[in-house]
Structure 1
């Protein structure tokens, strides 16, 4: 049978062939899922490391501990005390307080009169078991559960008569 003119393999629209719809690749979903899971795990590890470091440092940052120490030291002297020397805390970055004190402060004052050891200890906020009342020389030390220590010492000044040296050493882990 003859085909009408204008139709045939060289004329007219090409014959329609059925093409099934393309399946979308799962590779993009798999890689996206892996990326999201990896980001989540990294975020959890970072938060975990920060909390572990905080626990090792007995809670609170070293900067907070340094400010608290300086406030204690500033509260100790009276108006007639003369500062002889003071070393404020220098916070070391990366110091983990496992077994060492990362924050330290020491100061010494010359005082033209006797100072009660128990009085100085109480102004530092030290809790001592039965502080020696009436003592004007010697040392008292207070160790807290978090590993911090407070130490106050009062000694006669070796160079000046009737003058006393009050020195403190504060540490925090």
Structure 2
């Protein structure tokens, strides 16, 4: 028996509607899967691609800066790193500090105490700047400058960054 003519459904209409729903569902799932893969890749890069987390790098920088000054150094200013910054933005993991020191301080000695590779600069310098890689792979800039208004007083400045 044939279905009555003009009763609403054309042959194959239900199958076309179902196929369209399946196509939409498939595209939606593909987009969601692609987004999930992207998020996982970014998280994997952040967790494993850089080796250490920003918080660990920030704590290591703070420890180096804390160990550098001697008893008679007076802290002038300091900016600690932002441990909560985005892992791909290495510039946000930066520490800078300046101390006033009442005697001459060797540039090479100060830099080597930070873990800077001392194979390049000449020894015996008491002023100027030195920028080099640290043993942990970061960058360090150490500057020693005379305090203009005080004789035999020096500013020791450091800037530590992630490379």
- TM-score past 0.5 threshold: yes
Query: What is the aligned counterpart of 2:105 among 112, 115, 128?
Result: 115
Equivalent in the alignment of 2:63: 71
Deviations 1:30-57, CA, capped at 9 Å, x for gaps: xxxxxxxx9xx69x8354332122355x
CA displacement at 1:94 relative to structure 2: 2.8
Counterpart Cα distance in 2 of 1:145 and 1:49: 27
Q: Which ranges in structure 2 are unaligned for 5 or more consecutive residues?
A: 1-29
Q: Quote how far apart the aligned CAs of 1:172 are.
A: 1.2
Q: 1:49 aligns with which of 42, 46, 49?
A: 42
Q: Count how many residue pairs are aligned between Structure 1 and Structure 2.
A: 133
Quick check: which one's helix share is greater? 2
Partner residue of 1:172? 162
Q: Distance in 1 between matches of 2:66 and 2:44?
A: 31
Q: Which residue is 2:121 aligned to? A: 131
> Is 1:87 aligned with 2:79?
yes
Determine the C-alpha separation between the residues in 1 that align with 2:69 and 2:153.
15
- Any unmatched runs of 5+ in structure 1? 1-37
Return the alpha-carbon distance in structure 2 between the equivalents of residues 74 and 146 of structure 1.
17
The structural deviation recorded for 1:76 is 0.8
Q: TM-score, normalised by structure 1?
A: 0.66
Note closer, same or farther for the CA distance 1:170–1:49 as it changes in structure 2 (3 Å cut). Answer: same
Deviations 1:104-154 (A, max 9, x none): 110000000000011001110101323321110011111369873101000
Rounded Cα–Cα distance in structure 2 between residues aligned with 1:72 and 1:145 = 12
TM-score, scaled relative to structure 2 = 0.70
Picking from 57, 60, 74, the partner of 2:52 is: 60
- Do the aligned residues in 1 keep the contact of 2:116 with 2:135 (CA within 8 Å)? no
